[in-house]
């Protein structure tokens, strides 16, 4: 890699350069985050969510977020308010506000999550889906743990192995 390539990699992120991770609800392409780009204020992740899946109730203590639906339909919760969002629509989530997203359809749903600032002190997110009132608003999903690098279900042995930090 030449010096020019190194500089361009920080400004232009191709599909091949995106950081891909898997979560139980779908695949994530991190397109802008510290270490990948020179961002200080914005993180951008594209998520393809399986039908019937969802990212359970959680909040970001120090980040605000915009959810932009690219394809499909999202059941988006912001605090105790629920809305169905279609392609081209957004939800704004202030920092510290509990939220969740679910794909209620039989087709995959794609959305962009834009978070700011790109780095903050403390945890990236805090899960609260087992706490009230969130547990009563939407029954928590039962997911098998997946390896964030491969998307394969974790076995008991791999779940005890070294774990990566991150988002």
**What pLDDT was estimated at residue 132?**
97
**Residue located via tokens 């169905």:** 84
- For the chain, the average pLDDT equals 88
In the sheet that holds 73-78, the strands lie side by side as 81-86, 73-78, 99-102, 54-59, 126-127
Report the alpha-carbon distance of residue 83 to residue 76 in Å, rounded. Answer: 5
How far apart (Å, rounded) are the C-alpha atoms in residues 123 and 60? 8
pTM of this prediction exceeds 0.75 = yes
Decide: helix, strand or coil at residue 41: coil
Q: Could you tell me if 32 and 13 are in contact, meaning their C-beta atoms sit under 8 angstroms apart?
A: yes
pLDDT digits (tens, 9 = 90+) for 50-78: 999 999 999 999 999 999 999 999 999 99
Strand 26-32 and strand 99-102: the pairing is: unpaired
Instruction: Locate 116 and state its tokens.
Output: 């700011």
CA distance 101 to 49: 10
Residues of the chain with pLDDT under 50: 1-9, 157-167
pLDDT at site 114? 98
Name the token pair of 92.
Answer: 């704004």
The CATH architecture assigned to 8-141 reads Sandwich (2.60)
φ, ψ at 70 (rounded to 5°): -90, -45
């Amino acid at each position: 890699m030449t010096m020019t390539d190194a500089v361009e990699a920080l400004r232009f992120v191709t599909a091949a350069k995106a950081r891909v991770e898997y979560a139980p609800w779908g695949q994530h392409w991190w397109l802008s985050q510290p270490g990948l780009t020179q961002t200080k204020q914005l993180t951008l992740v594209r998520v393809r969510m399986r039908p019937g899946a969802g990212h359970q109730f959680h909040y970001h203590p120090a980040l605000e977020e915009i959810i932009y639906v690219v394809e499909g339909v999202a059941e988006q919760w912001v605090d105790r308010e629920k809305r169905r969002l279609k392609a081209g629509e957004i939800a704004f989530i202030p920092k510290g506000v509990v939220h969740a997203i679910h794909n209620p359809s039989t087709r995959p749903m794609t959305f962009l999550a834009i978070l700011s600032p790109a780095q903050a002190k403390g945890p990236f997110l805090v899960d609260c889906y087992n706490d009230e009132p969130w547990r009563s608003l939407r029954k928590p999903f039962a997911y098998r743990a997946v390896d964030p690098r491969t998307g394969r279900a974790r076995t008991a042995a791999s779940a005890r192995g070294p774990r990566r930090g991150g988002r």
